[in-house]
Amino acid sequence: MSTYTIPVGPLHVALEEPMYFRVQVEGETIVGLDITAGHVHRGMEFLVMRRNIYQNITLTERLCSLCSNNHPFTYCMALEKIAGIEIPERAEYLRVIADEIKRIASNLFNAAMLAHIIGFDSLFMHVMEIREIVQDTKETIYGNRMDLAANCIGGVKYDLSDEKIKYLMKQIDRLKKPLEEIIDIYINNKFVRARTEGVGILPKEEAIRYGVVGPVARGSGIDYDVRVKSPYAAYDKIKFNVHVENGCDVRARAIVRLREIQEAINIIEQCLKKLPNGPTCIDYLPEIPAGEAVAKSEAPRGELIYYLRTNGTDMPERLKWRVPTYMNWEALNVMMPGNKVSDIPLIISSIDPCISCTER
């Protein structure tokens, strides 16, 4: 049988962002893969050096839409490390809450995309409807549906009044029941199972070799979560489980993401209960001395690392970040071969690629 090439992308209905895959196919079976990146390069790393450190909080938030909170969060952590700023305890909890709310929205979006790709549009609509609860919550508390603008140097920009805490509790309670339902669907529904089980397998050894992070790693049986391995903000004061699946396939990664939503709800509830009183931000404008720092956090897609160097002026000298998708997309070379053409978008979506973070 002869081999021929199918272009998937740069614009493709199943990809949310432009990415170009040249897939070598023999009949209906994939034999090879060629990833071409660079379609949404916006020169962000250069832009960062042209703006002062405060403006960069806004800029980094616009790197990506679905994990937008993690970027300014990690950037602020790096700055605080350089300047040696201790942030108030209340701010630590508030940062965790903002982060977990974004995680819920991001993971639900990916779950919905899985349903859309396998043609199960009713499930897609259903999951998006549940996600709408989270979006409403974000709009009520932060004033925005996507970019929360929650972080600033030395703390957070928002505060939770008693009324808002009550509202947040209520909204999170509303999520629980439908979430149980959809997790049951993703695990047990025959159609979802037939399409996701045994598809896009990434064995544990290969996962370690490629250094994958986030739900992709945890779906392949690697117990690695930055929130536990090197806790930041308030994560060391909160008890939660890291969900690990051993299926190594698309289904395992989807289940990990859905279970993480439940865990995020648990984390937010604990935060709201433990939320200490006090200021939400330091009360002075900090001086950032010359220095360098590395900060990392667990974005919805995995480990996010920021390297920042300052030279004493108000502009950073260098800001470099390594996003989770950069580690994960190389692993597509292992997941793809041997699968059918119909599984291409499914496998791509299972690493939850964030192209605009990666190519910035």
From candidates 95, 102, 103, 116, binder to another protein by CB under 8 A: 116
Q: For residue 195, state whether it binds another protein (rule: CB under 8 A).
A: yes
**Pattern 198-237, binding to another protein, x per CB under 8 A?**
----------------------------------------
How many angstroms separate the Cα of 213 from the Cα of each of 109, 136, 205, 302, 336? 19, 30, 13, 5, 18
Q: For residue 348, state whether it binds another protein (rule: CB under 8 A).
A: no
Q: How many residues bind another protein (CB under 8 A)?
A: 32
Determine contact, residues 102/301, Cβ cutoff 8 Å: no
Q: For residue 191, state whether it binds another protein (rule: CB under 8 A).
A: yes
Q: For residue 338, state whether it binds another protein (rule: CB under 8 A).
A: no
From candidates 33, 44, 115, 323, binder to another protein by CB under 8 A: 115
- Cα 336 to the center of its chain, rounded Å: 22
Determine contact, residues 113/336, Cβ cutoff 8 Å: no
Q: For residue 30, state whether it binds another protein (rule: CB under 8 A).
A: no
Residue 233 phi/psi, 5-degree rounding, is 45, -130
Determine contact, residues 272/168, Cβ cutoff 8 Å: yes
Nearer to another protein, 185 or 213 (CB): 185
Angle between helices 250-274 and 162-188 (to 10 degrees): 160
CB 148, min distance to another protein, A: 27
Q: How far apart are CA 13 and CA 20, in angstroms?
A: 12
From candidates 345, 347, 354, 359, binder to another protein by CB under 8 A: 345
- Least Cα distance to 30 among 347, 346, 341 occurs for 341
CB 196, min distance to another protein, A: 10
Residues of the shown chain interacting with another protein in the complex, contacts defined by CB under 8 A: 4-7, 12-14, 27-28, 115-123, 125-126, 129, 189, 191-192, 194-195, 340-345
